Amino acid sequence: MGAFGTRGAWAVAILAIAIGSQARAEGDGDDGRARFFEREVRPLLIAKCQQCHGPKKHKGGLRLDSRAAFEAGGESGPVVEPGKLDESPLIEAVRYEGLEMPPDDRLADDQVAILERWVVEGAVWPGAAGPVVAKAEEAVDEPLWSTIPPADVRPPSLEGLAGTAWEGWARNPVDAFVLAELVRNKLAPAPEASRRELIRRATFDLTGLPPTPAEVAAFLADESIDAYERLIDRLLASPAYGDRWGRHWLDVVRYAESDGHNADAYRPQAWRYRDYVVASFNADKPYDRFTAEQIAGDELAPGDPDATVATGFLRLGPYEYNQRDVRGQWSNILDETTDVVGEAFLGLSVACARCHDHKFDPIPQTDYFRLRAFFAPVLPRDDLPLCTVAEQNDHDARLAAWNDATKDLRAEIDAIEKPYREYREHDAVIKFTADVQELLATPDADLPPYDRQIKALAYRQIVFSRDAVLTAGAIKKADRDRWQALTDELKKRAATRPAALPEALGVRDVGPEAPPTIIERSRKANGPIEPGFPTAVEPSPPEIRPTATSTGRRLALASWLNEPDNPLTSRVIVNRVWQYHFGRGIVATANDFGRMGDPPSHPELLDWLARRFVADGRRFKALHRLLVTSSAYRQSAFRPESEAEEARSIDPDDRLLWKRPVRRLEAEAIRDAMLAVSGELLPARGGPAVDAATTPRRSVDCKVVRNFRAPVLDAFDFPDGFNSTGARNTTTAVTQTLLLINGPWTLKRAGALAARLEREAGDDDRARVALAFRLAFAREPENDEIDEAVAFLRRGDRREALVDYCHVLLNSSEFLYLD
């Protein structure tokens, strides 16, 4: 029956036990649900519930103004059973199915739906379990920890550990901080992982790929004292490092190659930003330069192709090309950009201050619009040149010659097409309101900056409609034959036309004068808001230097973000790097360093790392090397159960790092590892995106379409690209099981792996099993594993059995999880 048959399904179940795969614990990344709580649930609780269940009144013993109070419940017990609507008294009350809450102002259906979704998704309430104030002003005397500059701390002294089992455990300053905290809490680190575990761990962490059997053998045979350090240096020098760590950054900046919304049009040039990010990581570009290029590359280095492409960061947000409410859409674009900049670079949920002062963090509404004002002058561009002046001049000369040679032919085609294109243009124009139509008819020179922006955004729709490809069916019969003959002739001459020069998506300012920024939807009269930084961090106004073509605002913002004593920027980025190496950030809420985010588990270590990062020139590779060569990183994931039980009683979430967390591979690593072990992974990288289902290249190079994500990636929690993703969710869902067991893509990889074993191990079943283990698990099989596998391979059709066996390996926990 083949790999799809019943026997193949039984083989998956039986062999999974035979090779010793085991279920692994996995952590849930709650960024999406936390964001939903902060943007939808918390404002609803504040507006509708806290009047009776807040700090001043708590009817029925219930308070809904802090996580601790919520979890404690009221006089009748908990008010929510996470995941279970019918067992949650809160849902019963807001549905008016028993108790009726709020008693005098029943919630609208959409508000009830918000609470229902919250409960179904686990009732995530981010932040510490301790008391949390309901309004930021109640804690005005308590500065937010993340707005205080990092302290100049020294690694703890470990002299008191002389003569103990942990003397000499600390290999570098990171270990001193970790060990001191463990000892303080009467905990001990785990033993060091085996060398096989270390090479697999480090190779996946730094490159997103499994180590090859040759790499494992070489490392295990290397008895030099610095073998591990040289392994790390080799991995950091690999081009695969940029593929891996560039993708981490793409999560943060909500990278996608399509517009989103209903149309979800593809952006064929978006890949240039992705390649810029990957190349920046491989080149070990300093983070301050990396930041400045993305925020203000055009102002920082006019004419630099890298800096031009980098501004594509400001073009990554969703865009609805056929949205006729141009002013509303432009406002949404500026809001979205502001929100992502706040989360990505500052680690602050500034979006909560868009409509009112932030309820928990010291971010007044004016601060939100001060930050937004930096981006108010932006003008989106799809045609930014990526060539030298000489290349442009040469191209212009060759194009002029081609135009001259084809001018009569093109003129006749244009004459036939003109009425059709004019009709399309008119039809597109009249769909706008009268005021926008007036802007479209007015020369740019006669319009103020804001109106030029609105006109440009509307005009994109005109061009889209007018210049869409004409087909013969759209041409009247009287013109059709002649038009077809002319266009066929022009196609013959297209081969001699010089290829278009590369262009990028990016931004420029609309000019040296910025449009005014006002607080929208405000009932209070207000004047223009000038750009500025969060006042809790830097109350002084920015120093802005306009040029002849640009306001200079974004460069001023980038300069402030990169100031050595900025309390947020370096903390946020070193925390992101820590998170990907240790499975959880020192601040677990990587995008929220506010009061509703988790407090740092090792605050002094975070400060020390932030200052060390700046002192080291803000180079990522130095930071990686520091972290992955530490003893803390090298710990085993497994301890005797008695030790683990005792440690869990003190630190149940392993925040203090008393062992290595077991983690499932991310979506890209699962796909790429299957292609790597099957021998199908192509070495090509970069360039226009490819299809994940049909082209065996690294996942970072695959198309990222917001509404139609590749199934093999989407099943394993690939981000949707609509919001900044600080930490991915790690879910366990039936769709994953179905994709791995019955999905045709996985079955093809099993077939390819079987073919590789036949090619490289010949007809010897024991050799095939040994090679399979080395490829899939980076280890040699045990004797009983070989015996059981060989017995299975010798049943029935040998080729079919080998494919089934390979299918088992690709489904096993040992393949899918990282110790």
* Separation CA 449–CA 452 (nearest Å): 5
* Separation CA 329–CA 317 (nearest Å): 12
Domain regions of the chain by residue span: 10-143, 291-385+506-559, 389-501, 741-818
Q: Is-contact 714 733, C-beta < 8 A?
A: no
- The token duo for 215 is 């790499």
**pLDDT for residue 18:** 37
Closest to 42 measured CA to CA, from 105, 108, 126, 113: 126
Burial of 323 (0-12, 13-18, 19+ CB in 10 A): middle
**Model confidence, pTM:** 0.85
Cβ contacts of 243-246, under 8 Å, gap ≥ 24: 243/207, 243/208, 243/278, 243/685, 243/698, 243/700, 243/701, 244/205, 244/206, 244/207, 244/208, 244/209, 244/700, 245/206, 245/281, 245/580, 245/620, 246/274, 246/277, 246/278, 246/280, 246/281, 246/700
DSSP state of 380: E
Q: Is-contact 612 626, C-beta < 8 A?
A: yes
Q: Give the contacts of 473 (CB within 8 A, at least 6 positions apart).
A: none
- The token duo for 639 is 């301890």
Closest to 1 measured CA to CA, from 801, 811, 809: 801
* Separation CA 616–CA 619 (nearest Å): 6
Burial of 521 (0-12, 13-18, 19+ CB in 10 A): exposed
CB atoms inside a 10 Å sphere around CB 460:
14
In angstroms, the first-to-last Cα distance of the chain is 36
pLDDT less than 50: residues of the chain:
1-29, 128-141
**pLDDT for residue 126:** 73
CB atoms inside a 10 Å sphere around CB 108:
9
Q: Is-contact 635 586, C-beta < 8 A?
A: no
Residue position matching structure tokens 């926990």: 813
